[in-house]
A and B are shown apart, each in its own frame.
Chain A
Amino acid sequence: GAVVSQHPSWVICKSGTSVKIECRSLDFQATTMFWYRQFPKQSLMLMATSNEGSKATYEQGVEKDKFLINHASLTLSTLTVTSAHPEDSSFYICSARDLGTGGRETQYFGPGTRLLVL
């Protein structure tokens, strides 16, 4: 199946710093990617929809100035957590939409990025 990569896989940073996470679709073009956050033993929470060449669409309650999303190409979306604080520590996962052929689309998840803010 298609592969989506994320980098870095884990990051530890000091409070107040900014962290950039990359999401890449490796063998297909993704005009749409999604960013999720997941806390331990909880379900995925959609943060925003990233559209290539346009502004991201944020879910209610997600601060767009804190979680900056850039989808500069058909294979890359980035999420920057600005001025990170300990409560931002979480598992961040992206997914990429593969429109496929014949109406059979699929969405593949990246392996996730664990963020720990000290």
Chain B
Amino acid sequence: GQNIDQPTEMTATEGAIVQINCTYQTSGFNGLFWYQQHAGEAPTFLSYNVLDGLEEKGRFSSFLSRSKGYSYLLLKELQMKDSASYLCAVHPNQGGKLIFGQGTELSVKP
């Protein structure tokens, strides 16, 4: 079966760094996405990893290890507006359909 695990909730302090982990077990692998979703809004694309390693994009970085079935999203210099749900999604085959985790609800406190 297809399984993607990420923590349900996390809390962090404004200005700090937070790492949101995602582990996956899927029938195939053609890439992993991270999305940000604020309450009441649609998801916004953050990153796409298909090769092992770290990809940095401003305050956000995403890491992938295919051999371990593991990814993380790193958020630096946290701001209050970063409070949102962060979705990990795996693209298991060529058809494009994504398998989503349940999402991690991040609360940033002053």
Contacts and interface: CB of A to CB of B under 8 A. Distances in A.
A111 B98 CA distance: 18
A1 B45 CA distance: 9
Given A34-B97, A105-B48, A111 B33 contact: no
B100 A44 contact: yes
A42 B109 CA distance: 23
B33 A112 contact: no
A108 B45 contact: yes
A103 B50 contact: yes
A46 interface: yes
Contact of B97 (A43, A46, A103, A110): A46
B92 interface: no
A112 B40 CA distance: 9
Interface in B85-108: 87, 91, 95-98, 100-103
A49 B97 CA distance: 7
Contacts of A70: none
Interface of A: 1, 32, 34, 43-44, 46, 49, 93, 97, 103-112
8 contacts: A32-B95, A49-B95, A49-B97, A97-B96, A103-B50, A109-B35, A111-B41, A112-B42
